[in-house]
Amino acid sequence: MQALPFIKMHGAGNDFVVLDLRARDVEITPGLACGIGDRHRGVGFDQLVVIGEAQDADAALRFFNADGSEAGACGNGTRCAAALLMGESSTDRHALQTVSGRLEARREGGRVSVNMGQPVLDWQRIPLARDVDIDALPLPGAPSALGMGNPHCVFFVDDAEAVDLATIGPKIETDPLFPQRTNVEFVHVAGPDRLRMRVWERGAGITLACGSGACAAAVAAARRGLTGRKVALAVDGGVLGVDWREDGVWLTGPVSHVFRGELVPEFLASQS
């Protein structure tokens, strides 16, 4: 077993370990994902991003949460992977294949954008356990539900800072209304084109930012008439931009490379 190189990155504090497996045959098991994600015994991440070969795109991406479960989408992780690939090719546009579909990414200056596609607004596809009003779920606070590659539950509150994320987040994540669990966002309107968001991510817990969550919050706010379709979201780790256009929901923000390293064979063998 050979050492496995990795790259540590983050987008607005949403942190990732990126593995480029285009030239390696490595099976990412839940145990291996958990081991790498352990912030004490591994490297630590909110999500693991795996780059692979794709026939009809520049690369394929898979995402794993810190609990070893696989995520359908990861907006900031996609932006980080796109930044790496753009750096290799010296081009400012890439197409990336994910289980949620083909995503287009662009680089402008020091910021990277990705089109996360149109929101899923059908209760069966989000998915929810039963047919309910997705803009006023039968939960305390009447939150919104929608899909952005992952299921999301968006609460609009008076003060996102005052929410006890650690207590409320896991209860909503595992509520029976969400058969595949859900990401949970708490949002307040800070201005006509500005939102403040804090997030509990399915399979990861409290994170400093969530790209698909930012998209979900922006769409939910626009559907309620609280903002327009283009907003800035202040998250715990920085500021993300979301623009809900005719061709999809565009997520824009900073990307940071932190360090490169390698997972040694002894560590890899211990996680199998």
**HSE-up of residue 95 (Cα within 13 Å, Cβ side):** 7
Strand 230-235 relative to strand 194-201, pairing: parallel
Establish if 139 belongs to a structural domain.
Answer: no
Q: Clarify whether residues 14 and 102 are in a common domain.
A: yes
- Which of these, 132, 163, 158, lies nearest to 145 by C-alpha position? 132
Written as six digits, the tokens of 265 are: 């064979």
Q: Clarify whether residues 242 and 259 are in a common domain.
A: no
Q: Clarify whether residues 235 and 149 are in a common domain.
A: yes
Establish if 185 belongs to a structural domain.
Answer: yes
CATH number of the domain that 197 lies in?
3.10.310.10
Catalytic site includes residue 34:
no
Q: Cα–Cα distance between 88 and 57 in angstroms, integer?
A: 15
Establish if 129 belongs to a structural domain.
Answer: no
Q: Each residue of 207-220: b (16+ CB within 10 Å) or e?
A: bbbbbbbbbbbbbb
Q: Clarify whether residues 33 and 86 are in a common domain.
A: yes
- Which of these, 135, 74, 124, 134, lies nearest to 99 by C-alpha position? 74
pLDDT digits over 12-55, tens only?
Answer: 999 999 999 999 999 999 999 999 999 999 999 999 999 999 99
Q: What is the pLDDT of residue 92?
A: 94
Q: Clarify whether residues 236 and 266 are in a common domain.
A: no
What totals of helices (H) and strands (E) does the chain contain, helices first? 5, 17
Q: Clarify whether residues 95 and 28 are in a common domain.
A: yes
Q: Clarify whether residues 155 and 78 are in a common domain.
A: no
Q: Clarify whether residues 221 and 263 are in a common domain.
A: no
Establish if 74 belongs to a structural domain.
Answer: yes
Q: Clarify whether residues 102 and 19 are in a common domain.
A: yes
Q: What is the pLDDT of residue 256?
A: 96
- Which of these, 179, 197, 176, 177, lies nearest to 188 by C-alpha position? 197
Written as six digits, the tokens of 65 are: 């949460």
Establish if 75 belongs to a structural domain.
Answer: yes
Q: Cα–Cα distance between 251 and 114 in angstroms, integer?
A: 5
Q: Is the dihedral of CA 133, 138, 139, 140 positive or negative?
A: positive
Catalytic site includes residue 210:
yes
**Distance from chain centroid for Cα 55:** 24
- Which of these, 153, 225, 231, lies nearest to 185 by C-alpha position? 153
Q: Clarify whether residues 92 and 173 are in a common domain.
A: no
> What pTM, to 2 d.p., does this model score?
0.95
Q: What is the pLDDT of residue 144?
A: 98
What residues make up the domain containing 34?
A: 4-107+255-270
- Which of these, 63, 37, 92, 86, lies nearest to 211 by C-alpha position? 63
Find the catalytic residue in 34, 80, 153, 210.
210
- The stretches in the chain having pLDDT less than 50 are none
Find the catalytic residue in 74, 80, 153, 215.
74
**Tokens 């565009």, residue?**
250
**Tokens 């390293």, residue?**
261
Establish if 138 belongs to a structural domain.
Answer: no
Written as six digits, the tokens of 12 are: 């607005």
Q: Clarify whether residues 103 and 198 are in a common domain.
A: no
Give the 3-state secondary structure of residue 214: helix
Count of domains observed in the chain: 2
Phi, psi of 33 (to 5 degrees): -60, -45
Establish if 22 belongs to a structural domain.
Answer: yes
Establish if 180 belongs to a structural domain.
Answer: yes
